[in-house]
Amino acid sequence: MKTHHLILITLLASCRTSPPKEAGPATSASKENSRFTLLVLGIAQDGGLPHVGCNKSCCVLARKRGIERFPVALGIFDRRTGKKLMIEAGPRVEAQIALLHRKMGVPQLPRKPLDGLFLTHAHIGHYLGLAQFGREVASTKELPTYVGRRMAQFLRTNGPWDQLIKLHQLKLHILQAEKEVEILPGLRIRPILVPHRDEYSETLAFKIRGPKRTILFVPDVDRWNRHHGLLAHLLEGVDVAYIDGTFYDGREVPGRNLEEIPHPPMVQTMRLLQDRARKHPGSIRFIHLNHSNPLFQNKALRKRLEARGFALAKRGEQIDL
């Protein structure tokens, strides 16, 4: 009983302890040189941290200390050609594109901040940044944008997104589930349909396969116990997985029925993947954390997670592909 009380007290105090540090310039999950490098550009849920309307201590302290956690996004850099790709375009896309260029040591090009863009679905933290590519801001020219069929239809038939297509600022490429795309020579991305709240579009996960490693990116997905075999399918052939870590165990959203929230609690995912994490420490990395997730603030809880072989993604971390 004392153990349970200690865990509860730790969780309740999670907004009062130190936040995780951003990965520094030299921080990398793999320090060997490679043609392709994947870079984490954001780890938070759609609203980021601090969060609009949030008066919890986690948001209050973040505002006071000038701490910001960007919505989830990944970048990919080709060292041979200098080409830059991004997965997701959320509300902080400008800062994330700048981070990608800064970490890779290359300047931004007018009208061509990226060479390609992949989107998982039509929830605000994943596509609202498309507006920055319009004529009011970057005014890109046919930026290759890879999306599912429903997502493409959504963008074509709703403003202001339809204007980006009519003015040729985005060029849509339709992805087919399970059909791998060679986006650059030696770099392939496979879209996988996953269940989620699909009001406006389908939801995709991506397997990113380079010459050395395959990375899974699944920031949003329904609970594993409702979809038998899905987790095993997603992890097949994967070296490192960035997995939906929106909520830790549900107690951070009191008054909500966790069964109605279309995200797997981290504690459930860890139970399912404990053997894999112990055999391959750091290969399961949680991303897309809600602002109220205690792992943002609770150092002791993060240490326990890491002791079990799991990891929390950090903005700025790099993996050679």
Beta bridge mates, 73: 42
Q: How high is the pLDDT of residue 289?
A: 94
Q: Give the model confidence (pLDDT) of 88-105 as tens digits.
A: 999 999 999 999 999 999
Q: What is the pLDDT of residue 211?
A: 97
> What is the pLDDT at residue 221?
96
Quick one: DSSP state of residue 227? S
pLDDT over threshold 50, residue 274:
yes
* Bigger pLDDT: 108 vs 131: 131
* pLDDT value at residue 32: 56
pLDDT digits (tens, 9 = 90+) for 203-257: 999 999 999 999 999 999 998 988 889 999 999 999 999 999 999 987 877 777 7
The residue length of the chain stands at 321
Question: What pLDDT sits at residue 82?
Answer: 95
pLDDT at 29: 46
Q: Across the strands, what pairs with 112?
A: 109
| 49-77: pLDDT as tens digits | 888 988 888 888 889 898 889 999 999 99
**pLDDT single digits (tens) 166-210:** 999 999 999 999 999 999 999 999 999 999 988 999 999 999 999
| 261, pLDDT greater than 90 | no
- What is the tens place of the pLDDT at every residue in 277-320? 999 999 999 999 988 889 988 999 999 999 999 999 999 999 99
pLDDT reported for residue 225: 83
**Model's pTM, two decimal places?**
0.89
Q: Find out whether 217 and 209 touch, Cβ atoms under 8 Å.
A: no
Among residues 87, 86, 90, the alpha carbon closest in space to that of 68 is found at 90
High-pLDDT (> 90) share of the chain, %: 72
Phi, psi of 117 (to 5 degrees): -140, 135
Residue 63 CA from chain centroid, whole number: 22
DSSP string, 125-179: HHHGGGGGGSTTTT--SSEEEEE-HHHHHHHHHSTTHHHHHHTTSEEEEE--TT-
Q: Are β-strands 240-244 and 170-174 bridged in parallel, bridged antiparallel, or unpaired?
A: unpaired
pLDDT computed for residue 30 by the predictor: 45
Task: Report pLDDT for 70.
Answer: 93
pLDDT exceeds cutoff 50 at 26: no
Question: What is the CATH number assigned to the segment(s) 24-316?
Answer: 3.60.15.10
Query: Which residues share a beta bridge with 116?
Result: 85
Mean pLDDT of 128-132: 97
CA–CA separation, 221 and 266 (whole Å): 12
- What per-residue string of b and e applies to 130-144 under the rule 16 or more CB within 10 Å gives b? bbbbbeeebebeebb
Average pLDDT, the chain: 89
For residue 192, the surrounding DSSP H or E stretch is: strand 187-193
Report the DSSP pairing between strands 84-87 and 116-118.
Answer: parallel
- The average pLDDT across 149-169 equals 98
Better pLDDT: 258 or 185: 185
Token pair for 207: 């397997």
Q: What is the CB-side half-sphere exposure of residue 161 using CA atoms within 13 A?
A: 18
- The secondary structure element, H or E, covering residue 64 is helix 57-65
- The span from the CA of 273 to the CA of 267, in Å, is 10
Per-domain residue ranges of the chain? 24-316
Residues 69 and 147: their CA atoms lie apart, in Å, by 25
